[in-house]
Amino acid sequence: MSQTTSADPLVDKVVETEYPIESVFQDRWSPLAFADRPVEPEKLGSVLEAARWAASSYNEQPWSFIVATKDNPAEFDRLLSCLAEGNQEWAKDAPVLMISVAKLHFERNGKENRHAFHDVGAAEANLAAQATALGLYVHQMAGFDVQKAKELYNIPEGYDPVDAIALGYLGDPHQLSDRLQQRLAAPRSRKPLKDFVFTGSWQQSSPLI
Strands, E assignment, the chain: 63-69, 96-103, 137-141, 159-168
**Which amino acid is it at 101?**
V
pLDDT tens-digit series, residues 170-179: 999 999 999 9
- pTM for this predicted structure: 0.93
Q: At what angle do helices 41-52 and 116-133 cross, to 10 degrees?
A: 140
Q: Tell me if 206 is assigned to some domain.
A: no
Q: Tell me if 97 is assigned to some domain.
A: yes
Q: Tell me if 16 is assigned to some domain.
A: no
**Which amino acid is it at 84?**
A
Give φ, ψ of 77 to 5 degrees. Answer: -65, -35
Q: Tell me if 199 is assigned to some domain.
A: no
Q: Tell me if 186 is assigned to some domain.
A: no
CATH number of the domain residue 97 falls in:
3.40.109.10
How many C-beta atoms lie closer than 10 Å to residue 163's C-beta? 19
pLDDT(3) > 50? no
User: What pLDDT shows up at residue 1?
Assistant: 35
Whole domain around residue 38: which residue ranges? 28-173
How is 31-56 classified by DSSP, letter by letter? -S-B-S-PPPHHHHHHHHHHHHT---
pLDDT tens-digit series, residues 97-140: 999 999 999 999 999 999 999 999 999 999 999 999 999 999 99
pLDDT tens-digit series, residues 63-92: 999 999 999 999 999 999 999 999 999 999
User: What pLDDT shows up at residue 53?
Assistant: 98
Q: Tell me if 9 is assigned to some domain.
A: no
Number of domains in the chain: 1
Q: Tell me if 14 is assigned to some domain.
A: no
Q: Tell me if 72 is assigned to some domain.
A: yes
